[in-house]
Amino acid sequence: MIKVIQPGLFTTIQDGGRHGYRNIGIPTSGFMDQESAWAANKIVDNDREESLIEITLKGPTLLFNNNCTISITGGDFNPLINGMPIKMYESINVKLGDTLKINNTKNGARCYLAISGGIDVKSIFGSKSFLSNITESYYLRKGDEIKISDNFNNKILKKNKLKFKLNRSMDVFKGPEFDLLSIKVKNILFENEFTIRSNSRMAYNLDEKAQIGIKSIISSPVMPGSVQLTPSGKIIILHRDCQTIGGYPRILQLDTNSLNNLSQLKSNDKIKFSLIS
Do residues 246 and 173 both lie within one domain?
yes
For residue 234, the domain's CATH number is 2.40.100.10
Do residues 138 and 7 both lie within one domain?
yes
Do residues 211 and 82 both lie within one domain?
no
Mean pLDDT per 10-residue segment, the chain (277 residues): 96 96 94 97 94 97 94 96 96 95 96 95 93 88 89 64 85 96 94 95 95 82 96 95 94 97 97 94
Strands, sheet with 99-101, edge to edge from the N-terminal-most edge strand: 84-85, 80-81, 99-101, 61-64, 2-6, 145-146
Rounded to 5 degrees, what are φ and ψ at 128?
-95, 0
Task: Give the model's pLDDT for residue 161.
Answer: 65
In a domain, 152, yes or no: no
Do residues 212 and 93 both lie within one domain?
no
In a domain, 87, yes or no: yes
Do residues 140 and 173 both lie within one domain?
no
In a domain, 158, yes or no: no
Task: Give the model's pLDDT for residue 125.
Answer: 95
In a domain, 189, yes or no: yes
In a domain, 154, yes or no: no
Query: pTM higher than 0.85 for the full model?
Result: yes
Rounded to 5 degrees, what are φ and ψ at 215?
-60, 155
- The rounded distance, in Å, linking the Cα atoms of 75 and 93 is 21
Task: Give the model's pLDDT for residue 137.
Answer: 84
By C-alpha distance, which of 177, 169, 168, 167 is closest to 252?
Answer: 177
Do residues 192 and 130 both lie within one domain?
no
Give how many domains the chain has, as a whole number: 2
Do residues 27 and 124 both lie within one domain?
yes
In a domain, 266, yes or no: yes
In a domain, 68, yes or no: yes
Given 146, 178, 201, the domain boundary residue is: 146
Do residues 69 and 199 both lie within one domain?
no
State which residues form the domain around 89. Answer: 2-146
Do residues 70 and 118 both lie within one domain?
yes
By C-alpha distance, which of 123, 83, 117 is closest to 103?
Answer: 83
Given 107, 131, 146, the domain boundary residue is: 146
Question: 204 pairs with which residues across the strands?
Answer: 199, 237
Task: Give the model's pLDDT for residue 156.
Answer: 61
Task: Give the model's pLDDT for residue 13.
Answer: 97
- How many CA atoms lie within 13 Å of 78's alpha carbon, on the beta-carbon side? 8
Rounded to 5 degrees, what are φ and ψ at 190?
-105, -5
